[in-house]
Structure 1
Amino acid sequence: MPAHQTPATPALTVLTVPAFDDNYLWLIHDGVHAAVVDPGDATPVLAALEAHSLTLVAILLTHHHADHVGGVPALLRHWQVPVYGPASDNIPAVTNPLWENDLVQLPALGLSLQVLDVPGHTRGHIAYVAAEQSWLFSGDTLFAGGCGRLFEGTAAQMVASLDKLASLPDNTSVYCAHEYTLSNLRFALEVEPDNRALQQRMVAEQDKRAQRIPTVPSNIALEKSTNPFLRFRENSIVTRLKATEHLSPSISNQDSPRIFAALREWKNNYR
């Protein structure tokens, strides 16, 4: 899969670094210096740094899963840089543990990132927001058209995390960590078959993938109009969950955690 660059300000760019079967690692750079987000594999990161003549200045981690942190030791053998990551996830390489509303300042890039606690996928999962550039690095919490599985956290935690991300400005670009978009949208259409915005998005994303173009980043406005995990409170979705017997008719339409849990369970078993 070819690398693609998303321009932001004239100074900073996000470079897409594909890894494994469907991971995206993100290099934030200014043409000279770079920070990498969730380097699960060092090899493509080192290749991208060399190809673009970049000096690594920081490593940013969202959670402890191997496909997000596995490349850190090898990167540190080449570059002695700070490693930022969640304070409440057990990641031995982290030198700068982070909590909700901490600010990561990277002077070499002129970049400031706000930390958001977004537990659910893991207990300590965090996200990074670059407010000036309108960027969100959401790891495995919010995906294009979907969300992460609840491996460690609860439905209530994930609901709160997704609500927090959905409250960001509509033009915020969502840099998630996987190319899961088409499978997510197939499920979304099962949940909301009459959603016109969703139908249109599926066509557009299928066209991108046919050309081997990443479907990421998306943006918050698009997710709010098409992602069932941000729309699960919609009456049409609750009705659909009950009609398909994924949610008991006795569950209140205001019981957000139980509605979300039913939707997530349906997705877990959807083929």
Structure 2
Amino acid sequence: MPLQIITVPCRTDNYAYILHAPLTGLTAVVDAPEATPIIDTLNERGWQLDFILITHHHNDHIDAVAELRSKYGATVIGAEADAHRLPDLDLRVHNGDTFSLGNVKVNVIDVPGHTLGHIAFHIPSVKALFTADSLMALGCGRLFEGTPAQMLTSLRTLAALPGDTQVYSGHEYATTNAAFALTVEPGNRNLQARAQKIKEARDRGEPTVPSLLSEEKKTNPFLRADSAEIRQVLGMEDAPALEVFTEVRQRRNSF
């Protein structure tokens, strides 16, 4: 196994992800919402922490960076474009950059929308995509800084990756996202089945992440602006995809 990926629930609904390469012993975390759950997970496995990867500047993704850096001396990696509002970065990255976690290659993808400096991390060798608050399980992040056009472009960029990519997003929002998705595409049988699986997983106390990108494309309304049913439900049969996407996002905001 080239990389172990551990999902770590943090705060009330955040996720951090610990990545461990058995061959080199190197360990990274993607986002740092809360120190204690991350430290406890590392201690349980006897791992140190070598890298902290940051997707965006919101406090619920960076609050524990200082404590983790102080404890482990980890290298902090984040977007050059957001360096002015992130913790001090040891490595500043841009769209299209590739960096290494030991023998594991990581690709950087700009995904503005939720914030202007949001980035995602794609690890092709293990078919893993860390999207935080851009593409989410059955949803996408609110547009706090970017425009609908920016977010739609970001989501299309991510959706173009291989369908067997596992999407590791930043929050446990799938239950509400599923309920909303069914209001705009109630006849989608793939969505109906997924909503049931989500309910069962949450009833067992299990995370709904990661999710398959191919499944997101079949069920996530923010990737389905061309769906005939969504367009009919919205009364926007002939509207451009951006207008459909914008309407779906506005409805989700008030759901």
What interval of TM-score do these two structures reach, taking the shorter chain for normalisation?
A: over 0.9
Paired residues of 2:115 and 2:143 also in contact (CA < 8 A): yes
Structure 1: unaligned runs, 5 residues or longer: 1-9, 243-248
The CA deviation at 1:30 is 3.0
Instruction: For 2:92 and 2:51, locate their aligned partners in 1 and report how far apart those are by CA, in whole Å.
Output: 13
- Which residue in 1 is equivalent to 2:252? 267
Consecutive unaligned residues in structure 2, runs of 5 or more:
none
Q: Which amino acid aligns with 2:21?
A: D
Aligned partners of 2:114 and 2:145 also within 8 Å: yes
Looking at secondary structure, tell me which structure has more helix per residue: 2
Deviation at 1:12, TM superposition (A): 1.4
Alignment check: 8 A CA contact 1:73 1:93 kept: no
1:148-199 CA-to-partner distances (Å, cap 9, x unmatched) read 0000000000000000010010000000011100110000000101000000
How many Å separate the matches in 1 of 2:100 and 2:181?
Answer: 37
Report how far residue 223 of structure 1 moved: 0.1
Distance 2:233 2:92 in 1: 42
State whether residues 159 and 256 of structure 1, in contact with CA within 8 Å, keep that contact through their aligned partners in structure 2.
no
The residue type paired with residue 174 of structure 1 is V
Of 11, 14, 29, which aligns to 2:2?
11
Find the aligned partners of 1:33 and 1:115 in 2 and give their Cα distance. Answer: 19
State how far apart, in whole Å, the 2-side matches of 1:171 and 1:241 are: 30
Maintained 8 Å contact 2:51/2:75: yes
Alignment of 1:80-99 (within 5 A): 80-89=73-82, 90-99=85-94
In structure 1, what is the equivalent of residue 14 of structure 2?
A: 23
The one of 146, 168, 171 equivalent to 1:178 is: 171
Contact persistence 2:62–2:87 (CA under 8 A): no
How many angstroms apart in 2 are the aligned matches of 1:83 and 1:98? Answer: 11
SS in 2 for 1:88: helix
SS at match of 1:258: helix
State how 1:96-111 maps to structure 2 within 5 Å. 96-107=91-102, 110-111=103-104
DSSP 3-state at the match of 1:193: coil
Q: Secondary structure at the match of 2:223?
A: coil
Instruction: Name the amino acid aligned to 2:8.
Output: V
8 A contact 1:120–1:151 mirrored in 2: yes
- Work out whether residues 135 and 169 of structure 2, in 8 Å CA contact, stay in contact via their aligned partners in 1: yes
Work out whether residues 159 and 213 of structure 2, in 8 Å CA contact, stay in contact via their aligned partners in 1: yes
Within 5 Å, give how 1:135-154 maps onto structure 2.
135-154=128-147
In 2, the alpha carbon distance for the partners of 1:41 and 1:87 equals 23
* C-alpha contact 2:18 2:28 (8 A) present in aligned 1: yes
- Check the 8 A contact 2:15/2:33 in 1, yes or no: no
Matched, 1:199 2:184: no
Aligned sequence identity (%):
41
Q: 1:194-219: per-residue Cα shift (whole Å, max 9, x none)?
A: 00000011111111111111110001
Worse-superposed segment, 94-103 or 126-135? 94-103
Are 2:56 and 2:118, in contact at CA under 8 Å, matched by a contact in 1?
yes
TM-score (normalised: structure 1): 0.90
Q: Give 3-state SS (helix, strand or coil) of 1:212's partner.
A: coil
Give the alignment's Cα RMSD to 1 decimal: 1.2
SS in 2 for 1:132: helix
Distance in 2 separating the partners of 1:71 and 1:206: 30
Aligned to 1:222: 215
Where does 1:114-129 land on structure 2 (aligned, <5 Å)?
Answer: 114-129=107-122
